[in-house]
Amino acid sequence: MAQVLEFKLPDLGEGLTEAEIVRWLVQVGDVVAVDQPVVEVETAKAMVEVPCPYGGVVTARFGEEGTELPVGAPLITVAVGAPASDAEAGAGGSGNVLVGYGTSEAPARRRRVRSTRPEPAVTVAVDGTAPMVPVAPVAAVTPVAPASSAAPAEGPGGPVPVISPLVRRLARENGLDLRELTGSGPEGLILRADVENALRVAVPREEAAQTAQQPSAPSALAGGRRVPLKGVRGAVADKLSRSRREIPDATCWVDADATELMRARTAMNAAGGPKISLLALLARICTAALARFPELNSTVDQAAREVVQFDQVHLGFAAQTARGLVVPVVRDAQARDAEGLTAEFARLTEAGRQGRLTPAELTGGTFTLNNYGVFGVDGSTPIINHPEAAMLGVGRIVPRPWVHEGELAVRQVVQLSLTFDHRVCDGGTAGGFLRHVADCVEQPAVLLRTL
């Protein structure tokens, strides 16, 4: 006889509570090895291949491609050879689940999933060479709703199962009664998407009355389409909306003569060795300015009513990919030189284009550099990447008339903008930071003072 182990969607880290099945990598009846990837999922952070900690025969898959599953929901069941003892059963899986992040120990609960029919659910023939083969129908395996990941939502009618306390809080803050919702998760588990959908369609009675008095929408609008806010697009929408709600931001900007910076980059690249990117030079300027104005390398702890200033600069940079806008993070940017920054920017950009950025590479930033000049625009008032406190925006560098050394000349001019959280500093600090950045752009030799 074989033991059937249920592998659930693991905790993907970084507060992620659900993932969408993009592509199954195994079929029912396939033999899988320990730590073999079995499914590719898309979270709000990245595309991830999920490895299975068990080796054996796949007896069931839960969810079709395109289905969104909550953390803790069953993914697959695997029939493995019956262990001689519970100790061996505990050692049957690798416990790695996700390579590099996620759970680090094997699941605490392992139990045999039995068929509802009188005959055994799965039997496996095992010898020295032959692979394990299921001989009973796999449809008898019944998925089990996750219990440990759901948090009850208290109410007069009894507890309502929700995927996490954050979902309950979202409903409470918006006056939504969870008892009126039908959850789309296993056994009616209420997901965050269920609450958000209910909030989108809920219209106050007074607004409904006003709408009833207004003429109907033009018939041409009937031919439109609805695009779900999910995956990366949904994560971006949630984060930007939260930033606007919570952060009292302000923006200041200045034009700078980048002619000398461009000449310095040309001289660096002419000297041989790896080419230095303009983004790397701007990042080096950012880290130097943040050393002078650490108030902007911070975040606000609203619960403690404190501003937390960071010693390290984890520099995020906005990158447009086929999956949408992502902000990879360069760790310890203040400790990297221009060559190191160039290499790391290139690596993270390529990983973003391939959809292979991990959640760890997309979170934990303390300051963001946004080079929107690549889109051919001069200026912008960017939205702060919550929960950071500031973002530097860089427009395109173009030839413009400029007064240089008392004479009118054509120079390479760029517009720099700083959007900052007014809770962490006043305008004097923000202006001092931006002015220092502009001085370094106009006279790169200023950086020598801090090297």
pLDDT of residue 146: 42
Per the listing, tokens 């809920």 go with 202
pLDDT of residue 208: 55
Cβ(310)–Cβ(333) below 8 Å: no
- Which residue in 360, 361, 331 sits closest to 13, CA to CA? 360
Amino acid sitting at position 290 = L
Residues in the chain with pLDDT < 50?
83-92, 99-157, 205-206, 217-219
pLDDT of residue 354: 86
Q: Helical H runs in 58-184?
A: 86-90, 165-173
Cβ(442)–Cβ(255) below 8 Å: no
C-alpha angle 102-105-106 in degrees, rounded to nearest 5: 110
pLDDT of residue 24: 92
* Number of helical H runs and strand E runs in the chain: 9, 21
Catalytic residues: 422
pLDDT of residue 133: 39
pLDDT of residue 143: 43
